A = this chain, B = another copy of it.
Amino acid sequence: MALPFRALFLGPAGENAQIVEDFILEALRDHVFWRRNFHPEDGPFIRESDKRSEAYDASLMRLRQELYYLLSRLKQGAPLFSPRYIAHMTSDVLISSLVGYFAAMLYNPNNISEEAAPVTTELELEVGKQLARLVGYGPQAWGHLTSGGSVANLEALWAVRGIKFFAPAAAMVARELDLPDLPLKRADGKLTTLQAMTPWELMNVPLESVLKLREHLLRMPDPQILRRLDACSVASRGMLGFYRAFERAFDAPLPEPVLLVPATKHYSWVKTMDLLGGGREQIIELPLDEHYRIDPEAFRAMLEDLAASEVPVLGLVAVLGSTETGTVDEIHRLMEVKRSATRLGMDFYCHVDGAYGGYATARFRDPQGQWVKGPYDRAAAASFEALPETDSITIDPHKLGYSPYPAGALVFRDQRIREFLTVDAPYVFHEEDEPHATIGKYIVEGSKPGAAAAAVWINHRVLPLDTTGYGALISNTISCARMLRDALASHRSPEGIRLIPLNEPDLNLVTFIALPPDVGTHADLNRFNEEVYKRFAIHPNRRVFSYEFLLSKTAFDVKKYARGLHTRLDPQVWSMLEEGRPLTVLRSTIMNPFTKDMIEEGAFFSELLEALDREMRDAHGLVFGASKALEAR
């Protein structure tokens, strides 16, 4: 098998243990002897006689004792390394990132600034560039690492808020300081001036025009302008003060913008709007089609409705791999709708939540960096191909990047966007003739591990972000997920319990329900699937080695997922569902690079289905009792 990863993972049976051992020791010794070369005249500090003291021995004893205790506790951890773990989107990590993280952790750099982390800050910015290239952003892009997707999404929306309210803030300043007319483009492309814009137009200035307006204002000679721009910003005044000031200045209300997200709505968006003081109420969910993707026509209709009532859009969030079903939104179609909305006078930011699916872009990029459609996924390819049209993207190296936690990333298409996030800390960021590239100025977090940057950076060097590297690895797991879907669909348990797949995998995630022939109500269906789930889920009181396989679950909102469910369920099951009750769904992510081996050897599906049959039988007895329907079969 020519796949490029057999040497790159520790392996489900630790087959590459010797490689890891060698490198870990090499990294450790390399670091130790590095230490010894910095002012050798100072040492040694810990003398051999110290090592023979009682105090030393006592603390060494304690260290050893507690480490053994920790090692023994860790053994009850989830077996993420095994192809039998097909639950959440996590798996084994690449050896390169394991060793890279460890090697850098010995130096313990803090990527808040290059002064505290001269090397790993550079590595982080290189990673940002690599991810920008991957998704097709140009040389003006800027990216960095975060602790995870939630923080990346928060940061993106923080920037979006600053951008959306920039033109209204500038309009206040222009009026206050009686500035000369400032030319500015409206959403429909017509040139007008900042001063002539209506509140609705101010909330729909195209991103590029906002960026240019800002640059123009900053170049104006009057230093007062910069100070007033800062003082009038939403960052300074807060949401409430900003709106009040605008209404005072213009004697007209500023319309409040809404955030558009797919109805699959990851909870981090709810959290983010809450955090930013925008309010969860200002989130509008876009209806899903039968593949659980945003329905572009519903999106178009929504924009028309919003335009008709002059409700501006803060931003659109498109999803590259939803956490529930791994669904990839049709970004190309959404962008087309977005473009056409300019004739309605609307313009807005587009952020892609590719925390899960961002790395899958590597399936469409050849080693020369050129776009390739590949033999597969015409629809998906078009989605990924449209990424350069979006404004920013969240990508988590700790998901399909096969890096250890913590590693999320945010990439802006245009580095000028990050200026909307700047807060200065005088003792960390030095402005006068600054030789350093700072990251801390532009982020939600403060101190952050440089080791994470080293881990992601070396992964990208070892496994290229193209069809020969990550592309091949991820395609391998997607094909497993598709095989799993088919295997579930064609299976029939001895008791006649069916497994109904609820999605066709865009990525490596399969959802399904187990459907006994005698189930009569939505509540019973849920109870049964809950019982099945419990048998495949980590429980603190069950030995981890006793599991055959591990699965996860999720809950579908029946109303939001209606089109997909209606398509995939028998009319009799569909009619059983209650709109107000979530549907409990079994969920399986195949991320392990070795699952395909196990499938090809024939063991994987037979053992999984056997385990499911056994547990379903057991769950059935518990939920329904000794059912006549099943006995009769």
Contacts and interface: CB of A to CB of B under 8 A. Distances in A.
A377 to B, nearest CB: 25
Interface stretch (A131-139, A145-153, A183-191, A383-391): A145-153
Interface stretch (A92-100, A197-205, A207-215): A92-100
A219 interface: no
Contacts of A424: 267
A266 B75 CA distance: 41
Contacts of A7: 51, 56-57, 59-60, 63
- State the 6 A-B residue pairs at the shortest beta-carbon distance, nearest first: A277-B277, A238-B279, A427-B554, A13-B43, A14-B32, A267-B425
A107 B80 contact: yes
A95 B436 CA distance: 31
Contacts of A57: 7
Contacts of A332: none
A374 interface: no
A282 interface: yes
Interface stretch (A34-42, A166-174, A334-342, A616-624): A34-42
A105 B403 CA distance: 10
A26 B69 CA distance: 13
Given A13-B43, A71-B103, A110-B405, A274 B450 contact: no
B45 A445 contact: no
Contact of A77 (B36, B100, B117, B594): B117
Contacts of A69: 461
A20 interface: yes
Interface in A191-249: 231, 234-243
B84 A110 contact: no
A256 B276 contact: no
A379 interface: no
A374 to B, nearest CB: 20
A166 to B, nearest CB: 14
B427 A553 contact: yes
A572 interface: no
Contacts of A24: 24-25, 28
A447 B13 contact: no
A27 B266 CA distance: 36
Nearest to A88: B116
A240 B239 CA distance: 6
B151 A147 contact: yes
A423 B63 contact: no
Given A67-B100, A237-B279, A238-B277, 11 more contacts: A12-B42, A14-B31, A24-B25, A24-B28, A45-B83, A69-B461, A98-B106, A109-B405, A147-B448, A238-B256, A239-B279
B74 A405 contact: no
Contacts of A104: 70, 74
A21 B28 CA distance: 7
A16 interface: yes
Contacts of A282: 238, 241
A120 interface: yes
A10 interface: yes
Nearest to A13: B43
Which of A3, A277, A530 has the most chain B CB atoms inside 10 A of its CB? A277
Interface stretch (A343-351, A478-486, A536-544): A536-544
